[in-house]
Structure 1
Amino acid sequence: MTIIPEIASFATDLTAIRRDLHAHPEIGFEEVRTAGIVAEALQSYGFDEVHTGVGGTGVVGILKGTGGQGRTIGLRADMDALPMDELTNLPYRSTNAGRFHGCGHDGHTTMLLGAARYLAAKRDFKGTVTFVFQPAEEGLGGARAMIADRLFERFPCDEIYGIHNSPMLALGEVGIFPGKAMAGASFFDITVKGRGSHGARPHDSKDPIVIATSLSQSLQSIVSRNVDPMLPAVLSITKIHAGSAYNVVPESAELGGTVRFFDDAVGDLVARRMREICAGAAAMYQCEIDIDIRNVFSVLENHPAETEAMRLAAVDVVGDAGVLTEPAPMMGSEDFADMLQAVPGAYCWVGHGGTMPLHNPGFILDDEILPIGASLLARVAEMRLAAG
């Protein structure tokens, strides 16, 4: 492994930054403290421009090389935490109840700050590096908010790159491959409006719990009986809420969940069948059923040339044996996909030690990943903007 020596020399500083961010997590579009730390750090590194409030709480830093005018490379990290409690008991655990960096975005932010510090001190490249610190990746549309705020019109990029930590890979392994790499996703909410009654007189009701559980079963048949089995798709109901007393049939019930897909036509098919099933159930049970389906993530597709560029940068940092290029698409989603639809680029996974998966209340990010990720981001920018 060849971590950039300058980055290795301030690795302890990166750990301190990451642990401070971890102790003070902020969820999407609330990253005021985090954005302030990022902006202050970029200014202290001597950045040419620092812009705040992009897409809500996003930060964009502009760094020009000493090699003169040239192309522009974008580097992106997400900043938001998850709306969940942390159960790690770490000395630097979350101090904000119901807020937890259970996906490692504190690490992503820190890695990009590490690359920023190194590149700002060296500036040995031709062109510009644009650093994009994005809010609200966890399903709230932070990438789309930045794009709607004219991110790429105000700060044009020829290419853009992003990374994500992965406890599923060993420390020092990097996974990168071209094509469809992460699923598109929709979230949905269904409200069943029945008629309540005494629990001892269910015949007086239009029981929304019976209707909701029937809907749950029916919706599960969409993937198995409507979607081509050669096209991956997932429909998961993750929430059912109804009732407040032992002897009351409630007036309504609510279901919620997610749909995942690698083909937009499949996503559209699933959404159409969901609406048809809900309409049919409403007619059958003589009740009202409202369904709201929201596309929140596009399919993440890596561009071939930029994927190769990121692979070469990864080889430079972790060695050829540490770079995994066998396609292994994930059903997880990532809103960097929207940036890749606007600008060519690539996204990779960087491994670290750990036994808990992402989004688990016991998830722990290994700080040894910080100089690796920072070196990878810095190297891809340097290699793509090499003066020669």
Structure 2
Amino acid sequence: MSEHAPEIESYLGTTLKRRFCALADTLDSRAELEAIRRNIHQNPELAFDEVRTSGLVASLLESWGFTVTRGVGGTGLVGTLKAGTGARSIGIRADMDALPIHERTGLPYASANEGRMHACGHDGHTAILLGAAKQLARTQNFNGTVHLIFQPAEEIGAGGGAERMLADGLFERFPCDAIFGLHNHPGVEQGHFLFRAGPFMAACDTVTITIRGKGGHAARPHQSVDPILVAGSLVMALQSVVSRYVDPNETAVVTIGTLHAGHAPNVIPDSARMEISVRSFSPEVRASLETRIRQLALSQAEGYGAVAEVNYVHGYPVLINSERETEFARQIAEELVGADKVVTQAARITGSEDFAYFLQQRPGCFVRLGNGANQPLLHNPGYDFNDENLTVGAAYWTRLVERYLAR
């Protein structure tokens, strides 16, 4: 027998006795979490108006022993819990805002606020993090500090909740060695986890192009400069931006979401206006897209004798998961649900997320959690968060915190 055998045996004994959160540990909270989630779903609030939601979250966190700081970045809040004497800290974020969509699910807990709906699952993300909060508070099986970040206004683009919280000194006031976030993912089996190190979700820019021509009578178009004709030509020209000016090995999207002009069939209007969503995964492609879109707008208008005004707004940056934290988050998922329910290097997602701003300042990982293979897509009036994920997500966040801040 090796002279070190007693030490090894002692070490293994200690390690084997240590137990981190498992799926079964959060099952007794299922009914409560479902009630919380459906309460939030029935009372959706738009960006920076999440007064009721943040109040509910704060009340629950305080009842479980968290120190709660309200009004971070507007209606955001942070719940802090310390255990042991460890110096390390971790942040977990959930978003709280709804969308300006009229719900058509017919559910008994459907939105009671006309024209507002939790069509992206933020009600579920909030309930999941509250489930983890309750579990962490009752077991306190960690050594350090956990900051639970409940963020407002993820949906609005530039100037959203993440930027506001950072401007309000989020990481200076609540230091985090790493930060993690989660989003549900319709089209993937419920309870399956998706990970990707490096660029995972796209940058999102919004472009508004106003074409100014010369209005006139529909019967005498030669006396006018028709902005609708210019807009139609520009719509077709913009289809060449990705197909002919972006490397086929890169990913980019240019989508014209709105086009408005005129009010009567016998009148040529003075102007036309279009709004475009632009997605990309690298700074080089992002800059190239802006250059080409501006050139096309100006040249197309000039060619028809009109003038184009381009307002190009840079929105969320590319969401880039750090290698080390992504590998750690993946390991936690495999421990919790098994390797068969974990995708290690998922395909990039052309949707965008303001969690990207947090990852610009701290290492971390943004995780996707399957909401069901046949569930309605996000931002759809028929969408609903899958409540089967409530305890899965709560157990995942609990275990991740316990392992990151292991005693």
> Shared topology, TM-score over 0.5?
yes
Q: More displaced, 169-178 or 152-161?
A: 169-178
1:383 and 2:403 aligned: yes
Report the Cα offset of residue 210 of structure 1: 0.9
2:71 to 33, 53, 69: 53
Deviation of 1:99 after TM superposition, in Å, equals 1.1
**What is the one-letter code of the residue matched to 1:331?**
T
Write the deviation string for residues 81-107 of structure 1: whole angstroms up to 9, x where unpaired: 111111111111111122111111110
In the TM superposition, what are the counterparts of 1:223-262 in structure 2 within 5 Å?
Answer: 223-262=242-281
Taking the aligned partners of 1:291 and 1:60, their CA distance within structure 2 comes to 39
Whether 1:177 and 2:218 are equivalent positions in the alignment is no
Q: Which runs of 5+ in 1 are unaligned?
A: none
- The residue identity in structure 2 corresponding to 1:230 is N
Matched residues, percent identical? Answer: 48
Give the structure-2-normalised TM-score: 0.91
1:95-129 per-position Cα deviation (integer Å, ceiling 9, x unaligned): 11221111111100110111111111222211000
Q: Counterparts of 2:249 and 2:334 in 1: how far apart (Å)?
A: 33
Q: How many Å separate the matches in 1 of 2:295 and 2:354?
A: 28
Q: TM-score when scaled to structure 1?
A: 0.96
1:338-370 Cα offsets, whole Å, 9 max, x none, are 111110001111113343111111112211111
Find 1:114's aligned residue among 104, 128, 131. Answer: 131
Once residues 356 and 258 of structure 1 are traced to their aligned partners in structure 2, the CA distance between those partners, rounded to angstroms, is 22
Q: Could you tell me which residue of structure 1 aligns to residue 10 of structure 2?
A: none
Instruction: Report the CA distance between 1:184 and its aligned residue.
Output: 1.1
For residues 243-283 of structure 1, the C-alpha deviation after alignment (integer angstroms, 9 at most, x for no partner) is: 11222212211101211111111011111111112221232
The superposition leaves residues 200-244 of structure 1 with CA deviations (integer Å, 9 ceiling, x where unpaired) of 222222111111111111122111111112111111111111111
* Letter paired with 2:149: V
Shift of 1:288: 2.4
| Aligned partner (choices 143, 146, 151) of residue 126 of structure 1 | 143
Instruction: Give 1:41's aligned residue.
Output: 60
2:322 counterpart residue number: 303
Contact 2:334 2:341 survives alignment (8 Å): yes
Letter of the 1:379 partner, please give it: R
Query: Does structure 1 retain, via aligned residues, the 8 Å contact 2:25–2:395?
Result: no
- 2:378 aligned with 1:358: yes
- Asked if structure 2 preserves the Cα contact closer than 8 Å seen for 1:139 and 1:296, the reply is no
Over aligned residues, Cα RMSD in angstroms?
1.4
| Aligned equivalents of 2:284, 2:156: Cα separation in 1 | 21
Give the Cα separation in 1 of the matches to 2:133 and 2:32. Answer: 13
Distance 2:351 2:231 in 1: 26
Gaps of 5+ in 2: 1-20
Larger radius of gyration: 2
Write the distance in 1 (CA, Å) between the matches of 2:221 and 2:50. 48
Q: Take 2:295 and 2:122, find their aligned partners in 1: how far apart are those partners?
A: 38
| Alignment equivalent of 1:331, drawn from 332, 350, 353 | 350
Opposite residue 315 of structure 1, the aligned amino acid is E
Q: Deviations over 1:287-306 (max 9, x none)?
A: 22111111211111111111
Q: Could you tell me which of 292, 298, 321 is aligned with 1:279?
A: 298
Q: 1:264 and 1:145 mapped to 2: Cα distance? A: 23
Residue 9 of structure 2: aligned partner: none
- Picking from 112, 120, 131, the partner of 1:103 is 120
Structure 2 match to 1:68: 85
**CA distance in 2: counterparts of 1:282 and 1:301, whole angstroms:** 37
Cα distance between partner residues in 2 of 1:254 and 1:97: 28
